[in-house]
Amino acid sequence: MKTCILVLSLMPALISADDFWETFQDGQVAEISSYKTVQPRYGEDRKAETILIFVPEHVSRTTRIKVEDYSAVPEENQVQVVKLNRVLRFNTGMYDYAAMTSVFTPLHKDTASLPLKISLAVTEWCGNFYTHLLPQENGAKHVMHSYFQSEGDKHDFIEGKAEALYEDNLPILIREFNGAFMKEGEKRRMTIMPSLWMSRITHKTLGFEKGWIKKGSLADLEVGEMSVKARRWEWRLSERTSIYWTEADYPHRIVKWEMSNGEKGELVRTVYKAYWALKDKQDNDWRDTLGLD
């Protein structure tokens, strides 16, 4: 994998943690974790599957699109990121939902850096929905395309502050890939952008909210049939609270979460594979390994 030197003032030195590159084999594999999930929708709890995929990539800082032809994009215009694809699938009665949130966060020593881009695509039987945020120092550019007449297409700017957090980015930050994001026991009052999915299902106008995040201590935790030592993280936006647990051992996998709205997730299995190369019929067995329907 090529390394790049960043010149944008918002972007300090690249991550240097040897453990990170050992885990992701110099960017040649992705971490794929499956989770047994409960997703509330329309007043009922739905059995769901969540897949969290973490993988390093290069993104153009101009277009904020993945770099595939390195020779076509100058090195000074390439940004090395951790990409998180969060895939959620569940049924609502007769029809099903498929949602994927993608987050692209620069691999900085400053782990509180802004994500380059956050996007959400939702497909269900009524129609398609897509939205994305491009964070800036003073807020975020916002684009939305919806099947529904009441929403339609939207291009606007959501004002905010450079030190604001994005909830969709927190599952990357709390993994502390390159050192502590916060001190143990620390609680920060912050302005936070709610997750795009949560904004979608609550039909709340997207905007920054006052909230806080707290880094708890390590404790023994039961996850399915496993007993692991994990750290508790908690954050609150308006009237909603989220609690996540990250494994004590590197690379600090997310092993469990629960939210005050009833959503829950529990780790089933993790594999480190170049999933993009596992596309033959014989590779269906990997779905069994991950416990996916």
Span 170-189, average pLDDT: 94
* The dihedral sign for the CA sequence 36, 40, 44, 46: negative
Query: Which pLDDT band, with edges at 50, 70 and 90, does 16 fall under?
Result: low
Token pair belonging to 169: 């980015």
- Band the pLDDT of 112: cuts 50, 70, 90: low
Instruction: Compute the average pLDDT of residues 51-72.
Output: 93
9: pLDDT strictly greater than 50? no
pLDDT of residue 13 exceeding 60, the answer is no
| 14 pLDDT more than 70 | no
% of the chain with per-residue pLDDT over 90: 78
| Range picked from 92-96, 160-164, 222-226 for highest mean pLDDT | 92-96
Decide: 224 and 240 in contact? Cβ < 8 Å: no
The pLDDT assigned to 249 comes to 95
Lowest mean pLDDT among 38-42, 161-165, 237-241: 161-165
Residue 50, helix vs strand vs coil: strand
Exposure of 26 by Cβ count < 10 A (0-12 exposed, 13-18 middle, 19+ buried)? exposed
What was the pLDDT predicted at 5? 28
Paired sense of beta strands 127-136 and 117-124, if any: antiparallel
Q: What is the mean pLDDT of residues 88-102?
A: 97
Is residue 230 within 8 Å of 255, Cβ to Cβ?
Answer: yes
Tell me the mean pLDDT in the region 25-31. 91
Give the mean model confidence (pLDDT) for residues 135-145.
94
- pLDDT level of residue 1 (50, 70, 90 thresholds): very low
The whole-number pLDDT of residue 293 equals 81
268, 288 contact by CB (below 8 A) = no
Is the model's pLDDT at 55 over the cut of 80? yes
What integer best gives the mean pLDDT of the chain?
91
Which pLDDT score, from 0 to 100, does residue 109 have?
58
**Average pLDDT of the segment spanning 160-172:** 92
Backbone torsion region of residue 229, taken as left when φ is above 0, otherwise alpha when ψ lies between -120 and 50, otherwise beta = beta
pLDDT at res. 3: 34
